[in-house]
Amino acid sequence: MLNQTHAPELTSWVTSANTTDTDFPIQNLPFAAFRRSGTNEAFRGGVAIGDQILDLAAAAKSGVYTDLAQQALEACSGEDLNPFMDMGKQAWSSLRLALSETLREGATAQTALQSCLVAQADAEYKLPCQIRDYTDFYTSVHHATAVGKLFRPDNPLLPNYKWVPIGYHGRASSIDVSGQNFRRPCGQTKAPDATEPSFGPCKRLDYEVEMGIYVGNGNELGEPISIENAEDHVFGMCLFNDWSARDIQAWEYQPLGPFLAKNFASTVSPWIVTTEALAPFRAAFERDAADPQPMEYLTSDANSANGQFDISLDCLIKTEGSAEENHLSTSNFKYSYWTVAQMVTHHTINGCNLQSGDLLGSGTQSGPEHEEAGSLLELTRGGKEAITLANGETRTFVQDGDTIIMRGFCQRDGARRIGFGEVASTVLPAKS
Amino acid sequence: MLNQTHAPELTSWVTSANTTDTDFPIQNLPFAAFRRSGTNEAFRGGVAIGDQILDLAAAAKSGVYTDLAQQALEACSGEDLNPFMDMGKQAWSSLRLALSETLREGATAQTALQSCLVAQADAEYKLPCQIRDYTDFYTSVHHATAVGKLFRPDNPLLPNYKWVPIGYHGRASSIDVSGQNFRRPCGQTKAPDATEPSFGPCKRLDYEVEMGIYVGNGNELGEPISIENAEDHVFGMCLFNDWSARDIQAWEYQPLGPFLAKNFASTVSPWIVTTEALAPFRAAFERDAADPQPMEYLTSDANSANGQFDISLDCLIKTEGSAEENHLSTSNFKYSYWTVAQMVTHHTINGCNLQSGDLLGSGTQSGPEHEEAGSLLELTRGGKEAITLANGETRTFVQDGDTIIMRGFCQRDGARRIGFGEVASTVLPAKS
């Protein structure tokens, strides 16, 4: 549902928000937890505007805001955004409108708010909220098919895929914000021709290009969230790199799924782009005529036509000692076989309770073409075909010192382009 | 390591702790979070002694304790025990010793502590701590073999089982304390002969008899916990019923593991029996000569001989409208193929960080004999052979109104018997 906060002609008195290439025009207004770099300041909520951050704790004390927007700002003043996220859609929307009105060109609040700005160049971030439970879905049919082909050439896609939004539980504790540098994991692996497993550093370390979906307000145990109401529980989205150790995964994952192959590190972008900001970027998804229709609990008139989001996803690699960013792939979240609403409803249909700050991973977002794959596993066809980077180096999997960078944005005629910023994370050598 | 707190001849001035059949003699001293039933009192930490609870918030104000024990009591005064659990082994041990000395027959503290007692009959419980991440292991080789036979008669145990302590991530939000009554989950299932799945209430609802293992103090990301230090990070154990929807599981679990089949409800007993209280009940585990030895990172001299715990586990069912408890099975945690220390070390060997309040499930603890199975799936051979209860009713899976009760205790010559109390939980009809 579009409203005046989406109007493409809106500009801000923060003039850096008015450039054509900014991720953070006044139509975006994403949330993060930040402080000034290198200080012991408390982290607090912030909203990106151009190359600045509006300090929400300072804004709460500015006297500019009233009523629900003021209450929302107070809930954003602590180090975690969970209290604000838990307030629900009306509060999110009220604060967005109030921020849009007061950051707009000509707003009388400019004088009072000028001192609430912190330059993004001077800021550092932490996780925007306490992540409670983390669930990873598997919504790209292209990824599922490509990976399935590597393991089961004759039967790449399992019979449940087009009926069940496949998901599994992940590890919340090892999720950190962009800038996470982590050691290459060690673990058990077994070479196909070996009789016994061996132990050592992962040899097939990979990234996964995903969207992260933050639950705002949850549901009570035993009370599923209907498909009609599902998106009302979604606060917003971020970029998400779900690091994966493919050789550890291959040996450990039967019969109960990935475990140590996934829980050593996962990295989110600092900014949460709200569901409301994404409203202009809906995309239709057409199922193949031969595909089953989603079951009734996953079907809604509102959702079926306009359930996806058109979010372009770029993945790049920077190798050690080089400043150059080398393109790996471009994909799009619109290819997701299941919508955000379907993920939420499916997750709760058995009565499972979601909570404020839960993170849902979309699963690797690979597009229909080989070069749109969201992991090296796919791009190198299981490590069999090395890819050559723009700087001349080759890769089958991620090497020590490599930094993987993901960026995302939404763009369409009649709307102002908005972006997600970036998530970047570097692999350090294994612990000796 | 045994010390004076384990001496079997110790008795308490709380005389109900001195009966032979109590779960809570002075040698036990387990922890919970409690308040007086039906009040709005704040929950706080408590220690069971006979049929009483020592209110730890009151004890902290009694003036009886000093130094580290007093600091530990203060950390037990809030509604969650995480701050105390995070203090580590020295604090746990100091408080245990101080409680043992002051609750002992003849202790001068009796007068001051008498008013800190609350009868267990007057108390209600909540989860003893905030459960951060929940991981479920699969450590009973008997369970893995029996369940494997149902799915793969020719190859019941997968090749990784005797090398890898198989585990997967579970859902923390839907874990609640004994007394949890939950609706039968709904979901997608597919009958073997059906061409398409259907939606409705679970028809194969099952319990799983498990031990729950609470992490006390955790580790930093990237810093594995060595096998020698692993048990120092374990605060204690509880009884754990990992409810499972077998028909939902069968349809959804490939390729990424159980999801909605497991995350609708899981139930812990209120009391955490500390690792220190369990010290007299070590049990050796002999691997078959043909089995591989654990890898070096999972091996320790201290651990290999004495790694298991001898905990007898009873499972019972109470059907709707009947007060009679019908025995389902008796098993023992000593059959676990992997030790608690091995679970902890394996979990962190890739750098994964554990945190105070993490819960590790042991997996269903089935014994070597068919009647020692810890689930109906096994007892009824996949639902094919109904069992007859003592009250004459039959069951293949759990019916609406059924209450599943688990109890556990440790007993051996030369030691005082200690118990875990119980975990009981009732299935309500599915939401219509």
| CATH code for the structural domain at A134-428 | 3.90.850.10
- Contact present, A9 and A103 (Cβ < 8 Å): no
- Alpha helix (H) residue ranges in A135-289: 141-151, 246-252
Chains A–B, number of C-beta pairs less than 8 Å apart:
201
> How far apart are the C-alpha atoms of A264 and A241, rounded to whole Å?
12
> How far apart are the C-alpha atoms of B335 and B283, rounded to whole Å?
9
> How far apart are the C-alpha atoms of A390 and B425, rounded to whole Å?
60
Contacts of A186 in chain B (CB under 8 A): 224, 349-351
Summarised one tens digit per residue, pLDDT across range B87-145 is 999 999 999 999 999 999 999 999 999 999 999 999 999 999 999 999 999 999 999 99
> How far apart are the C-alpha atoms of B105 and B114, rounded to whole Å?
13
> How far apart are the C-alpha atoms of B366 and B147, rounded to whole Å?
11
- Could you say which DSSP state residue B410 is in? E
Query: Which candidate from A172, A182, A197 shows the least CB-CB separation from B221?
Result: A182
CA A415 to mean position of chain CA atoms:
22
Domain locations in chain B? 4-126, 134-428
Q: Which of B143, B233, B346, B347 is catalytic?
A: B143
Decide if A221 and B186 are in contact by the 8 Å CB cutoff.
no
Phi and psi at A276, nearest 5°, equal -65, -40
Among all residues of A, which ones are annotated catalytic?
Answer: 143
- Alpha helix (H) residue ranges in A283-391: 301-306, 340-348, 376-379
pLDDT tens-place values along chain A, 432 residues long: 789 999 999 999 999 999 999 999 999 999 999 999 999 999 999 999 999 999 999 999 999 999 999 999 999 999 999 999 999 999 999 999 999 999 999 999 999 999 999 999 999 999 999 999 999 999 999 999 999 998 788 888 999 999 999 999 999 999 999 999 999 999 999 998 999 999 999 999 999 999 999 999 999 999 999 999 999 999 999 999 999 999 999 999 999 999 999 999 999 999 999 999 999 999 988 888 999 999 999 998 875 446 899 999 999 999 998 999 999 999 999 999 999 999 999 999 999 999 999 999 999 999 999 999 999 999 999 999 999 999 999 999 999 999 999 999 999 999 999 999 999 999 999 998
Token code pair at residue A393 = 């180096």
Matching fold, domains B4-126 and B134-428: no
Instruction: Judge residue A16's burial from the number of C-beta atoms within 10 Å of its C-beta, 0-12 exposed, 13-18 middle, 19 or more buried.
Output: middle
Alpha carbon of B187: minimum distance to chain A alpha carbons (Å): 6
- Contact present, B205 and B241 (Cβ < 8 Å): no
**Axis-axis angle for helices B89-103, B67-75 (nearest 10):** 100
Token code pair at residue B208 = 């799983």
ipTM over 0.95: yes
DSSP B345-369: HHHHTTSPPP-TT-EEE------SS
Contacts of B133 in chain A (CB under 8 A): 171-173
- Contact present, B43 and B81 (Cβ < 8 Å): no
Which residue, among A326, A282, A275, A322, has the nearest Cα to A303 in the 3D structure? A282
Taking CA atoms, A148 is separated from A162, A337, A341, B86, in Å, by: 14, 16, 25, 42
Decide if B257 and A252 are in contact by the 8 Å CB cutoff.
no
CB-based contact, B157 to chain A, within 8 Å: no
CA B333 to mean position of chain CA atoms:
10
- Contact present, A138 and A170 (Cβ < 8 Å): no
| CATH code for the structural domain at B4-126 | 2.30.30.230
CA atoms within 13 A on the CB side of B178: 24
Q: Which of residues 336-375 of A touch B (CB under 8 A)?
A: 346-347, 349-355, 358
- Contact present, A214 and A359 (Cβ < 8 Å): yes
Query: Which candidate from A158, A190, A260 shows the least CB-CB separation from B255?
Result: A158
For residue A167, the SS3 value is strand
> How far apart are the C-alpha atoms of B15 and B53, rounded to whole Å?
13
Strands, E assignment, B272-372: 273-274, 282-283, 308-309, 312-318, 326-332, 359-361
CA A17 to mean position of chain CA atoms:
22
